[in-house]
Structure 1
Amino acid sequence: MTEPARRIDAHHHLWDLTRRPQPWLTGPRLAPIDRSFALAELEPLLDAHGVDATVVVQSSSSLDETRELLEVAAGSGGRIAGVVGWADLTDPGLADVLASLTGPLVGIRHQVQDEADPWWLARAAVRRGLATVAAAGLAYDLLVTPRELPAALETAAALPELRFVLDHAAKPPVASGGWEPWAAQVGAMAALPNVVCKLSGLVTEADWSGWAPADLLPYAGHVLAAFGPHRVLFGSDWPVCTLAASYGEVLALARSATSDLSPAESAQVFGANAAAVYGLG
Structure 2
Amino acid sequence: MIVDAHHHLWRIEDGYGWLDDPDLAPIRRTFTPDDLCRELTAVGVDRTVLVEGGRCDPAEAAILLRYARDTGPIAAVVAWADPTDPGLADILAGYRELPGGERLVGIRPQVQGEPDPNYLDRPEVRAGLRTVAAAGLAFDLVIRADQLPGAARAAEAVPELRFVLDHLGKPRISAGTAGHADWADPLGTLAARPNVTAKLSGLVTEADWTRWTVDDLRPFVATAVERFGPDRLMFGSDWPVCLLAAGYGTVRDALVEALPPLSAGERDDVFGGTAVRVYRLAGSTGLTAGS
TM range (shorter): over 0.9
Asked if structure 1 preserves the Cα contact closer than 8 Å seen for 2:149 and 2:190, the reply is: no
TM superposition shift of 1:164: 0.3
TM superposition shift of 1:122: 1.0
- 2:146 match: 147
Q: Distance in 1 between matches of 2:90 and 2:64?
A: 19
- 1:46 match: 40
TM superposition shift of 1:264: 1.1
Q: Distance in 2 between matches of 1:45 and 1:72?
A: 16
Query: How does the TM-score come out when normalised to structure 1?
Result: 0.95
- 1:216 match: 217
Query: How does the TM-score come out when normalised to structure 2?
Result: 0.92
Unaligned ranges ≥5, structure 2: 283-291
231-240 or 114-123: bigger deviation: 114-123
- 1:138 match: 137
Q: Distance in 1 between matches of 2:83 and 2:205?
A: 28
Q: Cα deviation per residue 1:12-61 (whole Å; 9 max; x = unaligned)? A: 0000012x111211222101001111110111111121111100000121
TM superposition shift of 1:261: 0.9
Q: Distance in 2 between matches of 1:31 and 1:64?
A: 24
- 2:71 match: 76
Unaligned ranges ≥5, structure 1: 1-5
Q: Distance in 2 between matches of 1:258 and 1:48?
A: 22
Structure 1 segment 224-263 matched on structure 2, within 5 A: 224-258=225-259, 260-263=261-264
Asked if structure 2 preserves the Cα contact closer than 8 Å seen for 1:258 and 1:266, the reply is: no
Letter in 2 for 1:63: P
Q: Could you tell me the percent identity over the aligned residues?
A: 53
Q: Distance in 1 between matches of 2:115 and 2:220?
A: 26
- 2:83 match: 89
Q: Distance in 2 between matches of 1:257 and 1:135?
A: 37
After TM superposition, the runs of 4+ consecutive aligned structure 1 residues lying more than 4 A away are none
Letter in 2 for 1:272: G
Q: Secondary structure at the match of 1:56?
A: strand
TM superposition shift of 1:180: 2.0
- 1:99 match: 93
More helix, by proportion: 2
TM superposition shift of 1:259: 5.4
Q: Secondary structure at the match of 2:145?
A: coil
Q: Cα deviation per residue 1:179-212 (whole Å; 9 max; x = unaligned)? A: 2220001111111100001000000000000111
Q: Distance in 2 between matches of 1:180 and 1:50?
A: 35
Q: Distance in 1 between matches of 2:182 and 2:135?
A: 33
TM superposition shift of 1:258: 2.9
Q: Secondary structure at the match of 1:10?
A: strand
RMSD of aligned residue pairs (Cα, Å): 1.0
Asked if structure 1 preserves the Cα contact closer than 8 Å seen for 2:215 and 2:258, the reply is: no
Q: Secondary structure at the match of 1:137?
A: coil
- 1:23 match: 17
User: How many pairs does the alignment contain?
Assistant: 274
- 1:278 match: 279
